[in-house]
Amino acid sequence: MQVVMRQMQTDWFGPLAVTVLAVAIIGTAAPPFLSTLNVQVLLFALATNTLIAFSQMIIIAVGQMNLSVGAIGGLSAIAFAGMMQVWGLPAPFAAVLALGIGIAAGALNGIFIARTGISAFVITLASLSVFKGINSGITRAQPFYGIPETVKAFGNNVMIGPLPWLILPTVLVILGLWFLLNRMPLGRAILAVGGNTHAAELSGISVSFTVVAAHAISGCLAALAGIMLVARLQIGQPSIGDDWLILSFAAPVIGGAVLSGGHVSVAATVLGVAIVAIITQALVLFHIDPYLVQVVLGAMILWAVGVNRWRELRIAKSAKRI
């Protein structure tokens, strides 16, 4: 019993309960929801959306926010596609360079924030505009179509059953991020700076380096999401990334992330992404009026966040009683 109670107090328990409940209800009401093809579609969405959520989560962990995740992802995506089409670079080489662009863009954000002391909100708001402007300048709003067949196959084929190849890098990132945040000095430093910058500094952590590193990781994850979306969409759409902002915040927050920093959960964020994806699919499956879709989606995210908060308060109360 105590084990169950302990599990209930974890970040991932609430989102997991919501996910299981949602799958059970939707699967019963609309059996095609659990079809192999639909599970595959869900996994495709999870593969890219999880990386988008992580790119924000790591910044939330350090107690900041990054409004430019979509712009970095979009820039890396069109760089990846453009380098293959225009310069004829092999896909792996183009992918590495695109990841480099993401890391550099993120690191630039971090350097500006660390050096100037200006809030991350303002810096990333400005850099969003810069990165999006470069994207528009390069593409002139025209997609890159010259995506090699191997890349298209990677973005659309499955390994086994409903498991797409795209899920592979995401699983590696999940494991890597968990290891980083729980076992590596840099990860602990990110959480320490997010929890209490002053205390972290006094304990010998380089706040500037930690902030730059967090933003570089965020840029790398956004770039990887952009690259994977190019593979999935089979074209380098200049508008990749335009829609990422809400999701990037919603999933970590549903997963119990503290917006002021210091506390995030990799597993719960993945479940947060799953909840948003399931809600999105359910709205389509149940023929919800298109004018109501945004309202329903917003309301359900609010509800999930509210439940999470309520759980936190209950835990805090019971802890006080003890």
Partner 1 sequence: MLAVAAGVTLLAGGVRADDTKAALVPGGPHPYFAAWEQAGKDAVRDFHLSSADYKVPEKWELNAQNQLLESLVSQGYNAFLVFPGDPVGSASTVAELADTGAPVLAIGGCLKDPSMAGFCLGTDVAHSAYLGTQQLIKVMGTGKKRIAHFTGFLVDPNTQLRIDAVKKAAEEAGDEVVQVIADIDAPEPAQEKINAYLAAHANDVDGIVTTAWVPAVVASNALRKIGDKRIKMVAIDHDQVVLQAVKDGFVAGTMLQNPYGQGYIGAFAADKLRNGCTVKADAPWKANALTSHFIDSGTVFVAADKVDTYLEAMQGITKDLLSTFQATYLVCKS
Nearer to partner 1, 197 or 237 (CB): 237
Total residues belonging to the chain = 322
- In whole angstroms, how close is the CB of 156 to partner 1 at the nearest point? 6
Q: Considering the rule CB under 8 A, would residue 183 count as an interface residue with partner 1?
A: no
Identify the residue among 41, 89, 97, 111 touching partner 1 (CB under 8 A): 41
Nearer to partner 1, 112 or 244 (CB): 244
- In whole angstroms, how close is the CB of 118 to partner 1 at the nearest point? 22
Binding mask 214-243 for partner 1 (x = CB under 8 A): ---------------x--xxxx-xxxx-xx
- The whole-angstrom separation of Cα 298 and Cα 313 is 22
Residues numbered 270 to 309 that lie near partner 1 (CB under 8 A) are 277, 280-281, 284-285, 287, 290-291, 293-294
- In whole angstroms, how close is the CB of 124 to partner 1 at the nearest point? 15
Residue 51: name the closest of 281, 217, 182 by CA.
217
Sign of CA dihedral 136, 137, 141, 146: negative
Query: In 182-206, which positions are buried (b, 16+ CB within 10 angstroms) versus exposed (e)?
Result: eeeeebbbbbbbbbebeebeeeebe
Identify the residue among 3, 4, 5, 141 touching partner 1 (CB under 8 A): 141
- In whole angstroms, how close is the CB of 247 to partner 1 at the nearest point? 8
Q: Considering the rule CB under 8 A, would residue 32 count as an interface residue with partner 1?
A: yes
Q: Considering the rule CB under 8 A, would residue 149 count as an interface residue with partner 1?
A: no
Amino acid identity, position 261: G
Nearer to partner 1, 40 or 196 (CB): 40
- In whole angstroms, how close is the CB of 81 to partner 1 at the nearest point? 12
- Token pair, residue 246, equals 């809400």
Nearer to partner 1, 35 or 150 (CB): 35
Range list of β-strands (E), the chain? 158-160, 163-164
- Token pair, residue 107, equals 């690191």
Nearer to partner 1, 41 or 104 (CB): 41
- The whole-angstrom separation of Cα 151 and Cα 137 is 25
Nearer to partner 1, 52 or 120 (CB): 52
- The whole-angstrom separation of Cα 164 and Cα 322 is 47
- The whole-angstrom separation of Cα 260 and Cα 275 is 23
Nearer to partner 1, 122 or 199 (CB): 122
Identify the residue among 110, 143, 252, 262 touching partner 1 (CB under 8 A): 143
Residues numbered 43 to 82 that lie near partner 1 (CB under 8 A) are 44-45, 48
Q: How big is the CA angle at 152 (ends 147 and 156), to the nearest 5 degrees?
A: 155
What is the DSSP-derived secondary structure letter of residue 143?
Answer: P
- The whole-angstrom separation of Cα 254 and Cα 138 is 36
Contact 168, 159 (CB under 8 A): yes
- The whole-angstrom separation of Cα 65 and Cα 122 is 10
Contact 123, 112 (CB under 8 A): yes
Q: Three-state DSSP class for 84?
A: helix
Nearer to partner 1, 93 or 286 (CB): 286
- In whole angstroms, how close is the CB of 235 to partner 1 at the nearest point? 7
Q: Which residues bind partner 1 (CB under 8 A)?
A: 30, 32-33, 35, 37-38, 40-42, 44-45, 48, 129, 132-133, 136, 139-143, 145, 156, 229, 232-235, 237-240, 242-244, 277, 280-281, 284-285, 287, 290-291, 293-294
